[in-house]
Amino acid sequence: MAKILIIDDSEFFRDVYYHALSEKGFEVETAADGKTGVEKMLAAPPRLLFLDLVMPVVTGEQVLQEIQKHDTLRHVPVVMLTSISAQVVGKDLLTAGPIVGYLKKEEASADDVVRKAQEILGTSEKIFDPKANV
């Protein structure tokens, strides 16, 4: 099955999502910060990225900027998976790069994350509309 990378500084959330996605047959890799995540993506690009925004070392926004610098990464679909509401994040960031989804950690269950992965990897052409989820 498809490889998914989760970049999140919360060990709790990384573990929950890792197990939920792995149980559904996805190959899952995790990174505790954006710097490590970008390094892993450059070594072996995933088919889907779940990305937190607020992290030490390299933020989610900086990861998005770095992704755009590499031809091998700029088309990897990204689901923002963060504690920050879409309203606070803002339309400029949510429409930058290959963002195809947005989930708020406190509102999204592990099953929601699995469903989102299945939806996107089945139809990766779907474009995220930030106005629809605000």
For residue range 79-109, list pLDDT tens digits in order: 988 877 555 555 555 555 678 888 888 889 9
Q: How far apart are CA 106 and CA 90, in angstroms?
A: 18
Q: How far apart are CA 110 and CA 96, in angstroms?
A: 25
Domains of the chain: 3-133 (3.40.50.2300)
Q: How far apart are CA 57 and CA 34, in angstroms?
A: 7
Compute CA 77 distance to the chain's CA centroid, rounded to the nearest angstrom.
Answer: 8
Residue 49, pLDDT > 90, answer: yes
The residue among 2, 5, 12 whose CA lies nearest residue 83 is 12
**What pairing do the DSSP bridges indicate for beta strands 48-51 and 3-7?**
parallel
Query: With bands split at pLDDT 50, 70 and 90, how would you rate the model's confidence at 57?
Result: confident
